A and B are shown apart, each in its own frame.
Chain A
Amino acid sequence: MSTIKLDPVTRLEGHLKVEVTLDANNAVASATVAGMLFRDFENMLLNRPPRDAAFLTQRICGVCPVPQAVASSKAVEKIKGFKPNLQGLLLRNLIQGANFLDSGITHFYHLSLLDYIQGPQMSPWTGGYTQDLRFNAADTQTLTDHYISALQIRRKANEMAAIFSGKLPHAANIIPGGVTALPSSTEITNFRNYLNEIQSFISNTYQSDVNMLASAYSDYYNVGTGYGNLITFGVFDTNTSGGLLFPAGTVIGGTVGAFNEANIKEYNKYSYYSSPSGQAPASGTTTASYGKSGAYTWLKSPRYNNTPFEAGPLARVWVSGDYRRGVSVMDRHMARYVEMSKLVSNMQTWLNQLTAGASGFTNIGAPVSGSASGLTEAPRGAIGHWVSVSSSKISRYQIITPTCWNASPMDDAGNPGPVEKALIGTPVANPAQPVELLRIVHSFDPCTGCSVHVMSPEGVEMSKFVVQPLGK
């Protein structure tokens, strides 16, 4: 048995470590995936006005801040029994959609592609693995050129969002009650110009590049398959009565089933927490305990019906019926393209539905008390905020993010997390350059900034345990 350790796994947001053991044939026998940053976000939210959470939780992840603001706002709105008007929902869709387009393009070109080609031979693009690079010089040059032009497109997706959100990262105006932008006809036209350019890039350049990748690496339809269980909370309101562009659901063995949030529990036997394992997010607690015996990560293990599930674009397009070929490294890339293609054309529709000068915001004030969940999707998968309010202040806050689903450790029953499972069984051709592992991990688009906040405060006692001595 030999061991490969990748620490840090680069080209993702945050700090991630992967460690695998290889069997006699250099196939992965066991795998651990670990998040190496703990931020204790939820504790900071305690005793704050509920509206503050829409701002502060965006600071969990600068890559996909918008879904955090949307999840937080939805939870607070649900406590108030309020739903934004169509204008507010459309503005959220357009800002969140722009964040998806930015994230998807960044993921394919800037986070994943260097696992398949050598980029420009200068820092920071040197020093990557040279194992199993299959493109000829001309194709490599094409993809490298597109890496550069994609830098412009992802920037423009951010600029497009900022027309209605004030800025990105960290939208200025998505709060409980809606979105405070009052879009002028000039701004709508400006947004449309950006959208047209991005749509053109997706349907021409991105489509051609992802197909080129799938063609050269078609064996990757059989690599990193994992459990094949998919979960999505649903996203993008199409009307004020609950319609969604990508509906909530689960997939087991290729068959689509219902989703019920009551079936979610979080386990932490292998996480650096000493708090009780197996709780529902609405009543979860977290006590940090770095160095806990047997533990190896700051991530907990969210499970649905006690089973590991994979979240992300593939889950969304499978449930919506837009893509159902299979579950693998290459299917994840194809699904992301299929989703972005559908999303960008629906954004055109939503933009046309906007009313110039109309408000998408209602001043609903803070709820006095109550509890609710706010569920939506980040580019990398299902995200939920569980919020409790008493005396108009936050009394409990729990977040489950996409990378919690995907990069979770073993649960208490010993089932590896989805990324771990996807790694197990993979043959590594050259253990000195384990590029297969990187390709699998990157296909999930992990984001550990957002994965490490699964801890939930239990009232004010929280402040006592968090400064306990660490390590041995």
Chain B
Amino acid sequence: MKINRRDFLKWSVAAVAALKLEMDMDKLNTVMAAESDPPVIWLLGSGCSGCSISTLNVTNPTTIEDVLQNKISMKYDSTLMAASGESAMQALENAVNQYNGQFILVIEGAIPGGSSKNYCIIGEQNGVPLTMYDAVLKYGPKAKYVVAAGTCASFGGVAAAAPNSTGCVSVKSLLSGKTANPVVNLAGCPVNATVMVQTLLDLILTGVPSLDSYSRPRKYFSTDVHSVCPRRETEEVSQPGIYGCYEEIGCKGPDNQSPCPSLKWNNKQGWCIQSNYPCIGCTSPAFPLNPVISVSSDD
């Protein structure tokens, strides 16, 4: 099934309008003419596939069946792709060569490094095991954009939690100075589906979004959860499971920038604080703290 260019254009315009972004028709047309189906390569390192599953759950700006059939061309994604073994690895290599300098590389999970490179092998090329570490170094510089999906890829996250015996590193630290554009960190455990898919769209239509000091898009990561929390003015409670504000029991909302209060999760069916548990700070570079949440002293 070929992408219907007119549909894509229509959808893109609507999405841009929804974002209140300035529309650059010339740029859009160039994008469309150059690559009617923007190629995406998705690699999984030391992670749990939760960011893949979260992305499958997307409803805003559109659903995954629409994304895959009409919006992007997913050239490599080990969770979904039909090809296996050698033909899968061939598909990866072919896509990188055919779209050298044009594809979007999405990295899910952290990357075991140093002497631990062999802790994650993503497949074999020509009989030689390809480590995630070497794959990211090989393909990152050939990508137009590199997206770190989730907190593990962005900052190490759970994969690199102390004592980090597997030597996991973030995408940005591994690819520092080696990419065409800055690595975009989409923090979250897992990544929020809207943040993931909308950012792919933004990259295709308008390029790298404005990033904060942690390389996260400002439009999603500039507001503390607490400052817009619907429970901000409610009574502070001393345990989870009771309706109220959890600041007293260590809620990370005051220190954690994330779009959860507005975007919520799973088609807006819930989010952590709505389920009567404190924010655990999963979009923070420090996640997961030990303890994950704790009462800060004397405040």
Contacts and interface: CB of A to CB of B under 8 A. Distances in A.
Interface in A171-212: 172-173, 175, 177-178, 180-182, 190
Contacts of A39: 46, 119, 159, 166
Given A13-B79, A15-B44, A120-B69, A182 B85 contact: no
Interface stretch (B172-180, B203-211, B223-231, B236-244): B236-244
Interface in B1-24: 1-2
Given A14-B44, A48-B291, A62-B50, A470 B116 contact: yes
B33 interface: no
Interface string B258-290: 000000011101111111110010000000101
B140 interface: no
A125 B275 contact: no
B56 A151 contact: yes
Interface stretch (B60-68, B194-202, B212-220): B60-68
A37 B52 CA distance: 17
A128 B53 contact: no
Contacts of A62: 47-54, 190
B124 interface: yes
Contacts of A56: 158, 161, 288, 292
Nearest to A455: B165
A169 B190 contact: yes
Contact of A122 (B59, B69, B162, B163): B69
Given A10-B79, A49-B291, A159-B57, A167 B2 contact: no
Given A125-B81, A162-B265, A165-B275, A60 B165 contact: no
Contact of A6 (B78, B84, B190, B265): B84
Interface stretch (A222-230, A274-282, A461-469): A461-469
B115 A15 contact: no
A310 B126 CA distance: 33
Contacts of B267: 155, 159
Interface string A51-72: 1100110011111010000000
Given A43-B163, A469-B115, A127 B241 contact: no
Contact of A37 (B63, B119, B239): B119
Looking at chain A's contact residues, the main secondary structure is: loop
B182 interface: no
Given A9-B84, A123-B39, 17 more contacts: A5-B85, A10-B79, A13-B79, A36-B120, A47-B290, A52-B290, A122-B2, A125-B82, A128-B83, A155-B56, A155-B267, A160-B269, A166-B272, A173-B277, A361-B241, A438-B84, A466-B166
B78 A164 contact: no
Interface size of B as a range: 35 or more
A414 interface: no
> Ordered nearest first, which 3 A-B pairs have the shortest CB separation?
A62-B50, A166-B275, A128-B82
A122 B73 contact: yes
Contacts of A10: 78-79, 81-85, 88
Contacts, number: 279
Q: Which of A124, A154, A190, A298 has the most CB atoms of chain B within a 10 A radius of its CB?
A: A124
Given A55-B288, A125-B82, A162-B269, A40 B165 contact: yes
Contact of A180 (B58, B81, B276, B292): B276
Interface string B83-125: 1111111110000000000000000000010011111111110
A290 B280 CA distance: 34
B189 A37 contact: no
A264 to B, nearest CB: 24
B271 A172 contact: yes
B85 A119 contact: no
B203 to A, nearest CB: 18
Contact of A168 (B49, B88, B266, B291): B266
A127 B91 contact: yes
B47 A449 contact: yes
Nearest to A466: B165
Contacts of A175: 240, 277
A163 B269 contact: yes
A160 B124 CA distance: 39
Contact of B85 (A6, A126, A167): A6
B118 to A, nearest CB: 5
Contact of A182 (B53, B164, B276, B292): B276
B166 A151 contact: no
